[in-house]
Amino acid sequence: MTLALGCIADDYTGASDLANTLTRCGLRTVQTIGIPADDLQLPEVDAVVVSLKSRSIAASKAVEKSRAAEKWMRSRGADHVLFKICSTFDSTDAGNIGPVMDALRIDSGDSIVLVTPAFPETGRTVYQGNLFVGAVPLNESPLKDHPLNPMHDSNLVRVLARQSVTNIGLVDLGVVACGADVVRTHLDGLSENGFGAAIIDAVFASDLETIGAVALGHRVSVGASGMGLGLARALVASGRVKANAATSIKDTPVGGAAACLAGSCSQATLQQIARAEQVMPVLHLDPEQVIAGGAEVQRALGWAKERLGKGPVLIASSSTPDQVTALQKRHGRDAAGHAIEQAMADLAEGLVRAGVQRLVVAGGETSGAVVDRLGIPGFLVGAEIAAGVPVLRAVGAAERQMLLALKSGNFGGPAFFEDALGLMT
């Protein structure tokens, strides 16, 4: 296997979002959980998205894991490696975007790295280095209340400068609009003046194509699915990947029981849960009881088993921002988050034992905990449920076939859970 593109994603939902975009752009793509084992049977692909759970861990660990993934991809022929971050730039001043970017830049020998979280399809645009989520700047969006990394600054040049050892420049929309050659000249100027990375504006898909064409001339880039789109289109345009080579996974039905788990506390997920209550049984976990011990998980599993034969069920830990803050004050942010993620993993394991073969999970960290517990080594991409969320078919997993959907907290329309289950047959 010779890779045209290697990708390192800092969480599992982000990885499936990127794998979806690359597939839709015509690249044969597989998503793996961590660096694949040598004996994992992978199809012939153009791109591999290695999913890490590195968004919220210590920066030094995130660097170590990302470097190992990069090394693996280079050894499989990847000239370009994309570090996939969240389209809302989820991170803290301690990292992990800056430290990983710095390390990959050094390893690659690139003098300057292009960075953009823009993904216009989902309303993420960057103008003058400021990230917008729909019509509002990042710091006024629901991301200001994120349970793990609340985002209080929309200016990504400033945000990244606080995390990185290098100077961060800006390539603004006016430059992008002039085309790839002008962007290259601008980057040369920044690099000569000691800038090791630049936030690049993007508002339209056409901006991403310009960015992709330039980025492909470098060894490393940092971005969300929009950067993936640009790179994929550039690869196809350059003839390095055959257009339309991607084939969606076969839609052979998997059957079995279906369930949803929600650990995301985003506004979008809260609305989707409220909507799901109209069409399926929904159990709201008591987060305090979850932290107290295993009894709450057992209660939820008993509740689910009584209902799974009749149709899908949804179990949610999700709470409003005020409730999340109160719980975190009592138990600490990381301890509360970790305990709930582990409870979600326990639930997933119990549900699969009870016959669930179709599982929808909401939340990146939550999906990471669930997929790790289920021991699934990789996924092929199927139908698109919503922008950034595909149906995934587990590959290389044990006995039973499984379909999953891993939803980024902020993605999907109000009827997301129904929409997902409708496509996961």
Ligand X SMILES: Nc1ncnc2c1ncn2[C@@H]1O[C@H](COP(=O)(O)OP(=O)(O)OP(=O)(O)O)[C@@H](O)[C@H]1O
Q: Which chain residues interact with ligand X by CB under 6 A? A: 11, 13, 146-148, 263-266, 287, 317-319, 324, 327, 336-337, 340-341, 363-366, 408-410
Give the residue ranges of DSSP H helices in 88-224.
97-108, 156-163, 173-177, 180-192, 205-215
Nearest-10 Cα torsion for 134, 57, 115, 244: -80
**Are 199 and 115 in contact, with CB atoms under 8 Å apart?**
yes
Does 224 participate in binding ligand LCNOYBR7 (rule CB under 6 A)? Answer: yes
To ligand X, the closest distance from the beta carbon of 364 in angstroms equals: 3
The tokens for 228 are 């993936």
Task: Residue 99: count other Cβ atoms within 10 Å of its Cβ.
Answer: 20
- Binding pattern for the stretch 155-194 against ligand LCNOYBR7, x by CB under 6 A and - elsewhere: ----------------------------------------
To ligand LCNOYBR7, the closest distance from the beta carbon of 20 in angstroms equals: 9
Considering only residues 88, 108, 318, 357, which one is a binding residue for ligand LCNOYBR7 as defined by CB under 6 A?
88
Distance in angstroms (rounded) separating the CA atoms of residues 305 and 313: 9
**Are 213 and 237 in contact, with CB atoms under 8 Å apart?**
yes
Does 86 participate in binding ligand LCNOYBR7 (rule CB under 6 A)? Answer: yes
Considering only residues 51, 268, 408, 421, which one is a binding residue for ligand LCNOYBR7 as defined by CB under 6 A?
408
* Site of tokens 């993605």: 411
Task: Residue 96: count other Cβ atoms within 10 Å of its Cβ.
Answer: 28
To ligand X, the closest distance from the beta carbon of 407 in angstroms equals: 7
- Cβ distance to ligand X smaller for residue 47 or 261: 261
- Cβ distance to ligand LCNOYBR7 smaller for residue 86 or 280: 86
- Cβ distance to ligand LCNOYBR7 smaller for residue 146 or 358: 146
To ligand LCNOYBR7, the closest distance from the beta carbon of 351 in angstroms equals: 22
- Cβ distance to ligand X smaller for residue 16 or 66: 16
* Binding partner of residue 263 among ligand X, ligand LCNOYBR7, none, CB cut-off 5 to 8 Å per kind: ligand X
- According to DSSP, the β-strands at 389-395 and 378-386 are antiparallel
Output the CA angle 421-296-320, nearest 5 degrees: 65
- Give one DSSP letter per residue of 196-234, joined into a string: EEEEE-B-SHHHHHHHHHHHTTSSEEEESHHHHHHHHHH
- Cβ distance to ligand LCNOYBR7 smaller for residue 146 or 393: 146
- Binding pattern for the stretch 20-49 against ligand LCNOYBR7, x by CB under 6 A and - elsewhere: ------------------------------
Task: Residue 18: count other Cβ atoms within 10 Å of its Cβ.
Answer: 31
Q: Is the peptide bond before 96 cis (omega within 30 degrees of 0)?
A: yes
- Cβ distance to ligand LCNOYBR7 smaller for residue 146 or 233: 146
Secondary structure element (H or E) that encloses residue 391, with its range: strand 389-395
Q: What crossing angle do the helices spanning 225-237 and 12-24 adopt, rounded to 10°?
A: 30
* Site of tokens 């945000």: 159
Distance in angstroms (rounded) separating the CA atoms of residues 321 and 344: 19
The tokens for 62 are 């995130």
- Cβ distance to ligand X smaller for residue 137 or 217: 137
- According to DSSP, the β-strands at 378-386 and 29-33 are antiparallel
- Cβ distance to ligand X smaller for residue 24 or 146: 146
Considering only residues 5, 7, 17, 348, which one is a binding residue for ligand LCNOYBR7 as defined by CB under 6 A?
17
To ligand X, the closest distance from the beta carbon of 405 in angstroms equals: 12
The interface region with ligand LCNOYBR7, picked from 7-15, 64-72, 186-194, 394-402 by CB under 6 A, is 7-15
- Binding pattern for the stretch 351-390 against ligand LCNOYBR7, x by CB under 6 A and - elsewhere: -------------x-----------------------x--
Task: Assign 247 to helix, strand or coil.
Answer: coil
The interface region with ligand LCNOYBR7, picked from 11-19, 99-107, 128-136, 207-215 by CB under 6 A, is 11-19
* Residues near ligand LCNOYBR7, by CB under 6 A: 11, 13-14, 17, 86-88, 224-225, 364, 388, 408
